[in-house]
Structure formats: structure tokens, C-alpha cells
Amino acid sequence: MGSSAKKVRRRAAGPALRYDHVPGARTSDRPRKKRGGKGGRDDEGERGSWRFGALMCLTVLTVVVLFGLADLAWGETLWGEVAPDWPGGGYGFAITIGLLAPPAVAAIIAPLTRANWKKETARSIGWAVAALPGVALTSLLLLLCFGATRPKRRRRGPECFAHGEPCWIHEQYPYLWLPGLAAAVLCAVVGGWLVHLYLKRRRSALTAPAKDAP
């Protein structure tokens, strides 16, 4: 045979296209500026979040302490002394608790939704303080609900059947939770419907001048 075939080498691909640097354009080597610009808004937001967390922790701790003190002071006497003389007896007392529960929760949520800790820290603290009455009322209602909860059988003792205690309450007022739960649901539905009507009328009042304008 003749001479061996020559090995064919693949031609290397050409170098990648190079682009000229445009003055003022951002490159990957150049560090990016932090968002927020002048004034350190990110730092202010972090400080506002820290203050909000500290305030919430302090509020929760205060509520827990007050809840424990209220339980020691009034937990054993509220149902035994107040419920029998309440209009409607124990059932009327449970309905009253159910009707107060949605407004109490709304009194907490409404002020806190208007707080803006990043932009208006001082005003947000005022809104948080405005929510404290709702927190106190909710804690009292929870105290009443826990006071009417019957413990499990293995944890029941002779004192559970004493006057005003959980076992005595459920013997005097069977199905105590039913009217209270029904009242809470009814109040929440009616309250939500009224708020919806109010917001709807407010929107229509704001859009009416724009429609009448030439």
C-alpha cells in the first residue's frame, strides 16, 4: 500500500466573541449597591422588625402573666357565682361569651393591620397599644372558656364536682359549648357582613365624584 493516510486534525473553534466594555455599564466584577440608598432604609427596617418582635414578646408575656393571675383569682368563682345569676343561666352566660369573642379578636386585628413598623415606628407603637384592650378582653374570654372545660376522666377528682367546678358546670348545663359556639359564629358572620356593606358604601362614595365629573 501507499503511504499511510494523514491524520486529520479538527480545526479548533475560533475564540469567543469579545465585546468592548461600554463606559457606565454594570459588570459582574463591580460590587452592587445595597438597596435603600441613602438613609439606611434596610437598617431601619431591621430595627423596626426587631422592635416589633420585642414588643410582641413583651405583650405575650404580659398576657400570660395576667392570664395566670386572673385564673388564680377568679377561675374558680366566675362560673359558680356569676353564671347561675346571669340572664338565661349558664346558657345565657355562654351566649354572651360567644357574642363578645369576635369583637374582641377584631379589636386586636384592626389596630395591628394599620401599623407600619418600617415607616412609622412611633405611630405603630400607638396602634399596638390600642390593641391591648382587645388582648385583655380576649384573655378574659379564654379564661372563661378554659374554666368551663371538663378535664379527662383520669384527671377528675372529688373537687371537680364541687359547686362551680367544671364537672358541676357540665352537669348543670349539658352541651354548654353549643350555644356559645353558635353565638360566636353568628356574630362573626353578621359582623363581617356589616363591614362588607360599610366598605362597599365607602368605595361607592369615593368613586361617585369621579363619575359625576365632566
The overall pTM is greater than 0.75: no
Question: Which residue, 181, 111, 106, 176, is CA-closest to 137?
Answer: 106
Q: What is the pLDDT of residue 75?
A: 63
DSSP conformation letters of 7-71: PPPPPPPPPPP--PPPTT---TTSPPPPTT-TT-HHHHHHHHHHHHHHHHHHHHHHHHHHHHHHH
Instruction: Quick: pLDDT tens for 131-188.
Output: 888 888 888 888 888 777 777 888 788 878 877 777 888 888 888 889 999 999 999 9
Name the one residue in this structure whose C-alpha cell is 367546678.
165
Domain layout of the chain by residue ranges? 45-203
Q: Which has the minimum average pLDDT: 43-52, 70-79, 114-123, 133-142?
A: 43-52
CB proximity list for 58: less than 8 A, separation 6 or greater: none
Q: Do 116 and 42 contact (CB within 8 A), yes or no? A: no
